[in-house]
Structure 1
Amino acid sequence: MADLCSVPPEILVPATNETLELALGSQVTLNCTVRWAATQPCQHLPAWAKDGQPLDTNSSQDTTWLAQNASEWLLGSVLQLNLTHDSDFGVFTCWVSNATATFTLRRVEAAGHAPAVLAALLVLVLLVLLAGLYVRCRLSLLLWYQNRYGELEINDGKLYDAYVSHATAPDDRKFVHFIVKPQLENRYGYKLFLDEQNILPNSEPSADLIMNVSRCRRLILVLSVAYLEQDWCNSSFREGLWRLLELSKKPIFIIFESQHREITHPAISLLKQYRNAVTLLVWRAGSMTPSSDFWKELCLALPRKISSQGTTGDPQTQLQEDKDPMLILHSSYLDSGGDLHPDGDLGTGLRGYVFGSPLPPRLRGPRTPMASAASTTEDTQLRDSHELDVSDLGSRNYGARTDFYCLVTEDDI
C-alpha cells in the first residue's frame, strides 16, 4: 500500500497548462483533479500558489472519492477567484505530491456595447445632416449642374424662352408683369412672350397660338381661379392638356397656395396625375424671395441659362435685334460676304436698295484705310444712282434663298 501511495498521481484536469483571458470583475473556478491507483486513500494534500507564493490551505475545496472500478482514487481541488483588481491576475499552480498543474490568468478589456452604440449614433447623426443638406441644397446643386452641363437650346429658331399665358384678371396681370417677368428677364436673363388671351378658345388650337407657341421654348400657364373659370378649362381641360403637350415640351403650370386650398377644380387633380409630363409649381407666401425654391424649380424647368457679357436674354434674339425674323429686312447677323447660290442675289447688294434701306454694316479694321475709303466711295456711288437694272429678277431662283422668309399677316403689316 505504501508503495502505491509513493507513486506520483496522474493529473486528469487540466490536461495541459491552461491560459485564461478574463475581464476585470469576472469570476473563475480553477479545477485540479488527479488520479492514483490504490485500494485505500493516500495522504495526498493539494496545495495552491500564486506567482510562486503559497495560498492559504482554506482557499480551496478538496474532495476525494473512489473510482467505479474500486482500484483507483480521485482527488479534486477547486479554487474559486473573484477578479476585482489587477493584482488578482497571475499564474496559479496546483501541487499534488509531485504532480503540478498551472493556470495563467490574463486580463482583457470587456467587450461592452458602448462603442457600438456611439458608432451607431454617429452614423445616424451623419445621415440626418446629409439628408438636411440634400433637402436644403438639392435645388441649388441641380441648377448649378444644369447651368454648367445642361443642354444648350440656341440656334433652334426660337425667339423666346417661354410663352406665358395668364388670365385678364388684375391680380394675374400684376403677378405676371410685376413679379414673373422682371424676375426671369432682369435677374435670370430669359425672354418671355406674354399672352392674356384665351389660349384654347376652340377644341383645336388656333393658328396664332400654334405660331406663337412655336416661337417659344417653354409654355407657362398661371392657373389662378380666374384662369380656371375659362370655358375650355371647365369643359375640356383634359383634351386641352393633350393639345398643350403636343405644342410644348413639358408645360409649366403655376398655382397659388392661397387659392389651391379653395379650388376644387378637377384640373388640379388631373395635373397631379400627369406629374411626369408637366411641371406643377406652387406659389407660396415665401416665394417672393429671389432665393426661394420656387424660382429655382422654375429655372430648372426652363432652358439652360446662357451667360452673355454685356447683354441679357437669348444671344440669338440679341443678334436678331429682338425682332421677328419673319419681319426682318436686313439679316446683318448672317454672313453676307458671298453669294450662296449662282442664281441668288445675296452678293449683288440689290436687296437693300430695292426696299430703300441702308446697307448692312461692314467690318472694318484699323489697318485697312484704303479698303475703308473704297467701300465708302462705292456706297456713295450706289446711293447716288437712281436707276437699277431689275430686268432679270423674274429669272432668278429664290428657292435658294436661306437668309429670310416671308410669312406675315395683315395685322403684322
Structure 2
Amino acid sequence: MAGTECGLPINLISPPTAEQELWPHLGTTVSLNCTLQVPDSCSGSVTWLKNGEAAGHLYAGQDTVWNDVSSSVKFISSVLGVNLTTDEDYGKFTCQLQNVSASFTLHKTVQAGHIAAVVLALCVFAALVIGVILYLKCRLNLSLWYRDKYGEPEMNDGRLFDACVSFCPSNIDTKFTNFILKPQLENRYGYKLHLDERSLLPSTEPSAELLMNVSRCRRLIVVLSMAYLEQEWCQNNFRDGFFRLLELSQTPIFILFENQYKDLPAEVIHLLNSQKGTLKTLMWKADSVSPASDFWKELRLALPRKISLSDGKGDPQTQCQDDKDPMLTLNSEATDLDPDGDLGVRRTFYKAPPPRIAPVTRVPDREPTGEVDISDLGSRNYSARSDYYCLVTEPDL
C-alpha cells in the first residue's frame, strides 16, 4: 500500500501484504515488524493501533530509520513486541504512517500440552490393563459359553461313559477320585464316569479289557500322582506306555498335584511338555476345591459338551434309534432280559419246561403263564451299540 502526501509514494515493505493473520500460543511473545519506504524529506513516525485504538504504553514499539545512499528515500522500521499473557492480548494490531497501514490479526489457539498427552497415554494403558485382566478372568467362562451354545455335541456315538478315570488305589488318589472328582463332575455337571483303579498297561500290549473300557468312554482321565508313577509298568517303561495311551485315546487328560509336581521325574515332565498339542495337562492346586476355580472350567472344556435334556428323556444317543429295548429305555418297568448286554456278551435264552403235574382230569394244553415274550428279540435295533459287540466273535459264544 502506498501514500503520496510526502511528494513521493510511501511503499510498504514488510509485511508483504497489508493483512496478516497469526495463531500464536498463549504465554509466548510475538514481534510485529512493519517496514516502510518513504521519501527522504518526509517526516513522521509509525503509529500502532489495537482494535482501532492506540496501543498505548502496554506494548513497546521500537523504530529504526536508515537512508538509502543511492537514492533520495529512507526506510522506517517499527517492531512492536506483544507479550501474550492473557486472552485480552489477542486482537488486531495495525501499523500506520500517514495514509499507509498494515494489520496483524492475532488469533487464540489451544496448545496441546504434555499433560494432555500423558493423561491420554495413561487412559490407553489403563484400558489395555483392564482388557487383559477381563480376558484372563473371563476367557474360560466365554469359552464354555461358546462351546455350550455353538459347540458340536458328541452324541449318538455308542459310548456309555463321558470319561474313563484311571487312578492308583492309594489313599490320597482314591479320596480325590471318589470324593472330589466323581461327585463334582457327575452330580454338578451331569457327566458319567467310569473309574478304573487297575493298571492301564500291565504288559507291553494293551489288554482286551483296556481296549473295551477305552472304547466305551469318550475321554481318558489319568490322575498322574507319585503313587501312580510307582506302578510297575510306569517304573519299567513309562515312555512306551505313555505313547501307547496317546494312541488309545484322543486328547487324554492328565491331572497333576501341585504339591507333588517338584518330585516328578524329569522324564515325565519332559514327555508331558513335549506333547502339549495332543494332551491336556491340569494342575490341582490348593484353591482348586472351589467349584468356580479355573481347574473345573478347564476340565469341562476338555470333556465333551453336555446336552441339557428335559425330564423323562434318556441319553440322546438312543432317542433316534426307534429301539424299545428295556435296556435302552429310561424308567422302564420291564425286566432286562440281557443284563450283560452292555458288556458285549449276547447269551442264548431258553424257556424252562413246564412243571410236571399229575393230571387229575384231562385239560387242554396251554402256554405257561408268567413267561416274558421274547419273540421280538431278533428284530431289535442295536445299531447304537454295535461297536461293543465287534470284539466278540462267534466262537466266544
Scaled to the shorter chain, the TM-score interval is 0.7 to 0.9
Match runs of 1:12-91 below 5 Å: 12-16=13-17, 17-36=19-38, 38=39, 40=40, 42-56=42-56, 59-67=60-68, 69-91=70-92
Question: Secondary structure of 1:12's match?
Answer: strand
Mapping 1:348-367, distance limit 5 Å? 354=350
Classify 1:130/1:353 alpha carbon distance in 2 versus 1 (closer, same or farther; 3 Å).
same
SS in 2 for 1:236: helix
Is contact 1:257–1:284 with CA below 8 Å preserved after alignment?
A: yes
Corresponding residue for 1:131?
132
**Alpha-carbon distance in structure 1 between the residues aligned to 2:118 and 2:253:** 48
Cα distance in 2 between the residues matched to 1:298 and 1:63 = 88
Measure the CA separation in 1 of the matches of 2:124 and 2:330.
Answer: 58
1:148–1:11 Cα change, 3 Å: same
> Does the aligned pair in 2 maintain the 1:50–1:92 contact within 8 Å?
yes
Can you give the 5+ residue segments of structure 2 that lack an aligned partner in the other structure?
Answer: 319-326, 332-338, 353-365
1:128 and 1:24 mapped to 2: Cα distance? 36
- What is the aligned partner in structure 1 of residue 149 from structure 2? 148
Shift of residue 316 of structure 1? 4.3
1-structure distance, mates of 2:112, 2:307: 60
- Look up the match of 1:175: 176
- The 2-side partners of 1:190 and 1:49 are apart by 90
User: CA 1:240–1:5 in 2, change beyond 3 Å: closer, same or farther?
Assistant: same
Once the two structures are TM-superposed, the CA of residue 196 in structure 1 deviates from its matched residue by 0.9
CA contact (8 A) 1:159 1:324 kept: no
**1:59/1:327 CA distance change after superposition, 3 Å:** closer
Alpha-carbon distance change, 43 to 295 in structure 1, aligned in 2, over 3 angstroms: same
Give the TM-score, by structure 2 length: 0.79
Match of 1:116 in 2: 117
> Are 2:5 and 2:98, in contact at CA under 8 Å, matched by a contact in 1?
no
CA offset digits 1:352-411 (Å, max 9, x no partner): 98567xxxxxxxxxxxxxxxxxxxxxxxx866499x9x9xxxxxxx8x9753776669xx
* Structure-2 residue corresponding to 1:191: 192
- The amino acid across from 2:27 in the alignment is G
Relative distance call for 1:265 and 1:215 in structure 2 (3 A) is: same
CA drift at 1:312 = 9.9
**Local SS of the residue matching 1:246:** helix
**For residues 212-267 of structure 1, what are the alpha-carbon distances to aligned partners after superposition, in whole Å with 9 as ceiling and x for unaligned?**
11111000100110101123223322222221111111000001001112223411
Q: CA deviation at 1:54?
A: 2.2
How far apart, in 2, do the equivalents of 1:164 and 1:184 lie?
12
Give the 5 Å matches for 1:276-287: 276-287=277-288
What are the superposed Cα offsets for residues 305-331 of structure 1, whole Å, 9 maximum, x if unpaired? 12123479955488366976445899x
The residue type paired with residue 20 of structure 2 is E
Matched-pair contact (CA < 8 Å) for 2:312–2:330 = no
CA distance in structure 1 between the aligned counterparts of 2:181 and 2:295, rounded to whole angstroms = 11
Summarize the Cα distance change of 1:80–1:202 in structure 2 as closer, same or farther, 3 Å threshold.
Answer: same
Structure 1 residues 281 and 312 mapped into 2: Cα distance closer, same or farther (>3 Å)? farther
What SS does the corresponding residue of 2:128 show, helix, strand or coil? Answer: helix
**Inter-partner Cα distance in structure 1 for 2:312 and 2:279:** 31
Normalised to the residue count of structure 1, the TM-score between the two structures is 0.76
Counterparts of 1:150-165 in structure 2, within 5 Å, are: 150-165=151-166
Task: Report the identity percentage.
Answer: 48
Which blocks of at least 5 consecutive residues in structure 1 are unaligned?
A: 331-350, 357-380, 391-397
Query: Which residue number corresponds to residue 403 of structure 1?
Result: 382
Give the distance between the partners of 2:278 and 2:160, measured in 1 at CA: 24
Structure 2 CA distance for partners of 1:408 and 1:138, relative to 1, 3 Å: same
> How big is the shift at 1:157?
1.1
Whether 1:228 and 2:229 are equivalent positions in the alignment is yes
CA shift in 2, pair 1:328/1:177, >3 Å: same
- Give the number of aligned pairs: 353
Q: Distance in 2 between matches of 1:385 and 1:220?
A: 46
Q: Structure 1 residues 12, 385: closer, same or farther in 2, change over 3 A?
A: closer
Q: In 2, are the aligned partners of 1:220 and 1:252 still within 8 Å (CA)?
A: yes
Cα displacement (A) at 1:61: 0.9
Q: CA deviation at 1:114?
A: 3.0
Supply the RMSD in Å over aligned alpha carbons. Answer: 3.4
The one-letter code of the counterpart of 2:127 is L
Structure 1 distance, partners of 2:344, 2:274, is 43
Q: Which amino acid aligns with 2:310?
A: Q
Which residue of structure 2 lines up, in the alignment, with residue 261 of structure 1? Answer: 262
Asked whether the 8 Å contact 1:185–1:313 carries over to 2, the reply is no
Out of 252-261 and 77-86, give the one that drifted further.
77-86
One-letter code of the match for 2:226?
A: V
Q: Distance in 1 between matches of 2:345 and 2:312?
A: 23
Structure-1 residue corresponding to 2:273: 272
